[in-house]
Amino acid sequence: MNKRKTPHYNQGTHSAIWRENLNATIFGAETRAGKSFDILLIFSISISVLSVMLSSVQELNLKYATLFNYLEWFFTGLFTLEYLARLIAVRKAMLYARSFFGLVDLLSILPSYIALLMPGLEYFLIVRILRLLRIFRIFKLVEYVDEAETLITALKNSYHKILVFLYTVLTIAIVFGSLLYVIEGSAAGFTSIPKSIYWAIVTLTTVGYGDIAPQTPLGQIISASIMIMGYGIIAVPTGIYSSELIKTHQATPISNHACPSCGELGHDSDASYCKYCGENISPD
Amino acid sequence: MNKRKTPHYNQGTHSAIWRENLNATIFGAETRAGKSFDILLIFSISISVLSVMLSSVQELNLKYATLFNYLEWFFTGLFTLEYLARLIAVRKAMLYARSFFGLVDLLSILPSYIALLMPGLEYFLIVRILRLLRIFRIFKLVEYVDEAETLITALKNSYHKILVFLYTVLTIAIVFGSLLYVIEGSAAGFTSIPKSIYWAIVTLTTVGYGDIAPQTPLGQIISASIMIMGYGIIAVPTGIYSSELIKTHQATPISNHACPSCGELGHDSDASYCKYCGENISPD
Amino acid sequence: MNKRKTPHYNQGTHSAIWRENLNATIFGAETRAGKSFDILLIFSISISVLSVMLSSVQELNLKYATLFNYLEWFFTGLFTLEYLARLIAVRKAMLYARSFFGLVDLLSILPSYIALLMPGLEYFLIVRILRLLRIFRIFKLVEYVDEAETLITALKNSYHKILVFLYTVLTIAIVFGSLLYVIEGSAAGFTSIPKSIYWAIVTLTTVGYGDIAPQTPLGQIISASIMIMGYGIIAVPTGIYSSELIKTHQATPISNHACPSCGELGHDSDASYCKYCGENISPD
Amino acid sequence: MNKRKTPHYNQGTHSAIWRENLNATIFGAETRAGKSFDILLIFSISISVLSVMLSSVQELNLKYATLFNYLEWFFTGLFTLEYLARLIAVRKAMLYARSFFGLVDLLSILPSYIALLMPGLEYFLIVRILRLLRIFRIFKLVEYVDEAETLITALKNSYHKILVFLYTVLTIAIVFGSLLYVIEGSAAGFTSIPKSIYWAIVTLTTVGYGDIAPQTPLGQIISASIMIMGYGIIAVPTGIYSSELIKTHQATPISNHACPSCGELGHDSDASYCKYCGENISPD
């Protein structure tokens, strides 16, 4: 149903049938070629990301440096071709190039060329790590999953409530973190207020590294109450999101047409008459 | 809709138009000036709180002591002016001064003056930390967020259930804490019952610092059951809160009267006309 | 509404009006005396439990040993009197004495008398710890909280589902624990299968002490999947319990009277006619 | 209602009444013999699994090696007999032998025979650990628990949504793991990207071992946001699953037809007569 739509920038151009086909293959998922292209791309991205990740393991890098290098150049070539194909397939190339996914596409092939142009720069970690941005490209391909939309809609609807919740969490962390900074002091690892707040967040979210832990009885009593608080207020975002998702499920959609007679809104989409003034509001 | 209401203590006073304007600016968020004032205040509070927090980091304090000092005096001055403006803007100044937010406003500017009047006192941590109370002042400004009210209403409605839940959690912690105190003893860190209860809370809430951990097989078996218990009973507050929020959502109900003309149901309770046939269905 | 009911074992006995009053005071919460008695008892139990807990802290015990001793004898005396009063207030004393709360009442005063009769025995930790059972007695007093009943009903209804869930959790822990025992071996702390299962439970429930942690890459990959699994399946008990609580909220109670004509069950409690055969089933 | 069905592979075979009885006993749970068999089997499997687990504890193995050996041979014999009985009881033995539970049954008795045929092989951990697969066999017996089906149905329905969620979690872990690899470096334990991603998963799922923990202020700020993120997005799977379970619960709906005689609504969809006035409301 909710398939990814092919951007028809080039409709009506007579000589551009090959371009339209290319477009459907690269951007669409309806055609057989489009589907194969998507699967191949997901596979390539996965291998490429895995290769970047593994090349950061020293033992592996010493052994397989050449392999990682070859793989990197292979994928850089592949993704460069794909990037060019995308630029050709759409009519307004600049529009694509400046879009979020266009930038991600460019940024994730750039590091290899930078290393070529400015030798030595490839030793900068940050340059090499840029290639991991490729992972985002899969989202472009899975965006047709209908389910994601429901999840994101519910998230957007509960956005304000979640912000209020996050601000409350932060305030609790600041207040209790400062409190334990006063009570525990440097000896137990609470060396500054920001560090104590860090500890409070570690505790409140039930992560609990244990690198900093209260030593005094009073500190432990207050910590225990932070934990129980954190254990309890997890219920708040869960409740917000659950009720939002359930609302989405149960929603009998409401029409966004105002009554032509009284101008009131909020009519159910199956309504034939305005529920306020009785005016006929059926579309035909 | 649910905007913060300006407290019109001074309505009807002829000469007090400037005061009414001041009031609307400081306490309200409807006017353009009121909105700007709110944003400016949130910004000032954030910077000020950040400055207090960072000044507790020794390295930063050594380097930027003068900057922190200047910032502190700048914000103390600013918040003092604001405090005075608030006292002037409301008619019953004492009522404001003794309210929760009035006290917070006062307490968060006091430390600097104390340090001025009684030199040396500013070295007391607790005096300096008082300034962090400013963080609470933002709540006064965000209280108009409609969403917060829904969250708090649901929390209030589930208050009794949550108390029962908390008492059960505490009992589990006391019983299992004492049990592990008997089983493990001082060697594994369970040096006293309160400390063992602290450990039980750390475990039950799935925080798990690891500073105290059972060593004996029996202790580990019992710990494992505490963990599974804690993992499971998180469902209780979540369930309570979710069902409460959902109840709140469903509160605008559907009328259970059928249309007398066409017999259809499912009309909103505020409907005056049948949405299917247009018949008048208002009760009178 | 759902007040604790006074067990009227002694109704109709002419001379027992004082006993009935005693009964109402001790077991009931309707009368003013009954309420005061409850509050006093909760207070006494709390202080007594706190005293037992604190006396296990060595520093405090060295300093305040005499105080703890006096407190203990005071509360033992008080709870003994209360126990005797309860035995007198009910007609069938043995029935009360053998009930759960009767046993708890007895067990929590016994340790002090044991120490008196057999000197030296009070040094056994387990004997002294028995007194903490008093904490359970508060449940008897809070049982009139209507809310607790809803929570317990929902828990009972989801009992079977939660068992299935727990067995699944245990199986995951056994399978993955054994797997990591094979992969990691003794070096990383996975010295035996039971200990590895203990680790798996610590990880799956997101407690994460960190006393045992995988060291090999393969072990860490599998651990990561256990964590994500544990993070995800917390949704299962939460979902079960939430939906159960919501069902309880939305339940239009169903009558447990069968239709006198067709014998069918499952009628709504507000039904006047059998929905299957049309027979009048209204109570009057 | 939803009892396990006996596979009647051998219906109609005259001489096979004993086989049908055997089938009902082994595969079914309706007959008294079938129930006893199930309980006996669960008991045997539990003891056997416990014995395998405990034999991996070195101290116990040194002491009770002979007992574990005897137990193992006893259960191997028992489960071999049961396996043969199952092969005989069904007509198409190969079909059973190649089914999932058939393979589990075989694999969990094989290790002992392997050790007999190829002495020395029983010292291979992986061979001995295979016997723990027996734990899965209990699932075959509990599959008649009606509740499990509801849980699994809801899980299947939310499968796509959970996949989207898991991919998002993984992406967050990869992005933030790489980020902390750059920021923290080897000193704090972030020795490679895969290890940093492992740390990110440990943190995001709120497990928090503490074996790797950020040391720099920037690293701790980013960690804190990962924790809050992880604390918040637990709401997503919980919300998905809750709303799915609630949908399943509400599936037996209420008719939306009003009674033609009294106009009342809220009748169950299986009602033939109006529950308020007794009028026939069956559709035909």
Contacts of A94 (CB under 8 A, 6+ apart): none
> pLDDT category, A5, cuts 50, 70, 90?
very low
Task: Look at residue A205 and tell me whether its pLDDT is greater than 90.
Answer: yes
Chain A hits for B153, Cβ within 8 Å? none
- Give the pLDDT confidence score for residue C121 in this predicted structure: 64
Q: What percent of chain A has pLDDT over 70?
A: 76
* Residue the block writes with tokens 């009674």: D259
Nearest-angstrom CA–CA distance, A128 and A115 = 9
Chain D hits for C275, Cβ within 8 Å? 267-268, 270-275
- Give the pLDDT confidence score for residue C7 in this predicted structure: 47
- Extract the tokens encoding D24: 């009902």
Chain-centroid distance of CA C184 in Å reads: 39
Q: Is D273 helix (H, G, I), strand (E, B) or coil?
A: strand
D232 vs A166: CB contact, 8 Å cut-off? Answer: yes
- Burial of residue C72 (number of CB atoms within 10 Å: 0-12, 13-18, 19+): buried
Q: What percent of chain B has pLDDT over 90?
A: 18
* Residue of C138 and D6 predicted with greater confidence: C138
Nearest-angstrom CA–CA distance, A163 and A166 = 5
Chains in contact with A, counting 3 or more C-beta pairs less than 8 Å apart as contact: B, C, D
- Give the pLDDT confidence score for residue D218 in this predicted structure: 92
- Give the pLDDT confidence score for residue B198 in this predicted structure: 94
> pLDDT category, A248, cuts 50, 70, 90?
confident
Task: Look at residue C220 and tell me whether its pLDDT is greater than 80.
Answer: yes
- Give the pLDDT confidence score for residue D32 in this predicted structure: 81
> pLDDT category, C123, cuts 50, 70, 90?
low
What is the nearest CA distance from D113 to chain B, expressed in angstroms?
Answer: 32
Q: Give the dihedral of Cα atoms A32, A38, A41, A46; nearest 10 deg.
A: -130
What is the nearest CA distance from B11 to chain A, expressed in angstroms?
Answer: 33
- Give the pLDDT confidence score for residue D2 in this predicted structure: 41
- Give the pLDDT confidence score for residue C2 in this predicted structure: 41
Q: What percent of chain C has pLDDT over 90?
A: 18
- Give the pLDDT confidence score for residue B253 in this predicted structure: 46
Q: What does the pLDDT look like over C3-41, one tens digit per residue?
A: 444 444 444 455 567 777 787 777 776 778 888 888 888
> pLDDT category, B123, cuts 50, 70, 90?
low
Task: Look at residue B11 and tell me whether its pLDDT is greater than 50.
Answer: no
**Which ipTM was obtained for this model?**
0.78
> pLDDT category, C148, cuts 50, 70, 90?
confident
- Give the pLDDT confidence score for residue C234 in this predicted structure: 87
What CA–CA distances, in Å, run from A74 to A45, A52, A71, A124, A174? 12, 13, 5, 21, 49
- Give the pLDDT confidence score for residue B113 in this predicted structure: 85
Nearest-angstrom CA–CA distance, A183 and A195 = 14
What residues in chain D have per-residue pLDDT under 70? 1-16, 29, 120-125, 140-147, 249-279, 281-284
Q: How many helices (H) and strands (E) does chain D have?
A: 13, 0
Nearest-angstrom CA–CA distance, A18 and A27 = 14
Nearest-angstrom CA–CA distance, B3 and B143 = 9
Lowest mean pLDDT among B87-91, B111-115, C100-104, D265-269: D265-269
A247 vs B245: CB contact, 8 Å cut-off? Answer: no
> pLDDT category, C128, cuts 50, 70, 90?
confident
Q: What does the pLDDT look like over C78-99, one tens digit per residue?
A: 999 989 988 888 878 888 888 8
Task: Look at residue C100 and tell me whether its pLDDT is greater than 90.
Answer: no
- Give the pLDDT confidence score for residue A177 in this predicted structure: 93
Interface test with C, best of D196, D241, D250, D270 (most C CBs within 10 A): D241
If you average pLDDT over every residue of chain A, what do you get? 79
If you average pLDDT over every residue of chain B, what do you get? 79
Q: Would you say B247 and B211 are in contact if contact means Cβ atoms under 8 Å apart?
A: no
> How many contacts does B have with D, using Cβ atoms within 8 A?
22
Q: What does the pLDDT look like over B230-242, one tens digit per residue?
A: 988 888 888 888 8
- Give the pLDDT confidence score for residue B39 in this predicted structure: 84
Mean pLDDT of C163-185: 89
Interface test with A, best of D156, D164, D170, D222 (most A CBs within 10 A): D164
- Give the pLDDT confidence score for residue D39 in this predicted structure: 84
* Residue of C107 and C127 predicted with greater confidence: C107
Quickly count: other Cβ atoms within 10 Å of residue C12's Cβ: 6
Mean pLDDT of A243-257: 65
* Residue the block writes with tokens 């809609």: A153
Task: Look at residue C49 and tell me whether its pLDDT is greater than 60.
Answer: yes
What CA–CA distances, in Å, run from A22 to A86, D35, D255? 8, 64, 52
- Burial of residue B108 (number of CB atoms within 10 Å: 0-12, 13-18, 19+): buried
Q: What percent of chain C has pLDDT over 70?
A: 77
Measured distance between the N- and C-terminal CA atoms of chain A, rounded to whole angstroms = 26
Quickly count: other Cβ atoms within 10 Å of residue D98's Cβ: 11
- Give the pLDDT confidence score for residue B91 in this predicted structure: 76
Task: Look at residue B224 and tell me whether its pLDDT is greater than 90.
Answer: yes
Mean pLDDT of C230-257: 75
Crossing angle of helices D217-233 and D235-249, in 10° steps, is 0
Chain B hits for D242, Cβ within 8 Å? 242
Q: Residue A117 — φ and ψ, nearest 5°?
A: -75, -40
Crossing angle of helices B17-27 and B58-89, in 10° steps, is 140
Interface test with B, best of A227, A246, A257, A280 (most B CBs within 10 A): A227
Measured distance between the N- and C-terminal CA atoms of chain B, rounded to whole angstroms = 29
Q: What does the pLDDT look like over B172-221, one tens digit per residue?
A: 999 999 999 989 988 888 999 999 999 999 999 999 998 889 999 999 99
Q: Would you say A190 and A212 are in contact if contact means Cβ atoms under 8 Å apart?
A: yes
Q: Would you say C226 and C205 are in contact if contact means Cβ atoms under 8 Å apart?
A: no
* Residue of A226 and C134 predicted with greater confidence: A226
Q: Residue A5 — φ and ψ, nearest 5°?
A: -85, 135
Chain C hits for B167, Cβ within 8 Å? 138, 142
> pLDDT category, A31, cuts 50, 70, 90?
confident
Task: Quote the radius of gyration of chain A (alpha carbons, Å).
Answer: 27
Task: Look at residue A72 and tell me whether its pLDDT is greater than 90.
Answer: no
- Give the pLDDT confidence score for residue C205 in this predicted structure: 93
- Give the pLDDT confidence score for residue B137 in this predicted structure: 76
Task: Look at residue C235 and tell me whether its pLDDT is greater than 70.
Answer: yes
Closest in B208, B263, B266 to D208, CB measured? B208
Q: Interface of chain C against chain A, CB under 8 Å?
A: 206-210, 238, 242
Q: What does the pLDDT look like over A92-126, one tens digit per residue?
A: 888 888 888 888 888 888 888 887 887 766 666 67
The three-state DSSP-derived secondary structure of chain A is: CCCCCCCCCCCCCHHHHHHHHHHHHHHCCCCHHHHHHHHHHHHHHHHHHHHHHHCCCHHHHHHHHHHHHHHHHHHHHHHHHHHHHHHHHCCCHHHHHCCHHHHHHHHCCHHHHHHHHCCCHHHCHHHHHHHHHHHHHHHHHHCCCHHHHHHHHHHHHCHHHHHHHHHHHHHHHHHHHHHHHHHHCHHHCCCCHHHHHHHHHHHHCCCCCCCCCCCCHHHHHHHHHHHHHHHHHCHHHHHHHHHHHHHHHHCCCECCCCCCCCCCCCCECCCCECCCCCCECCCC
| Closest residue in B to C206 (Cα–Cα) | B206
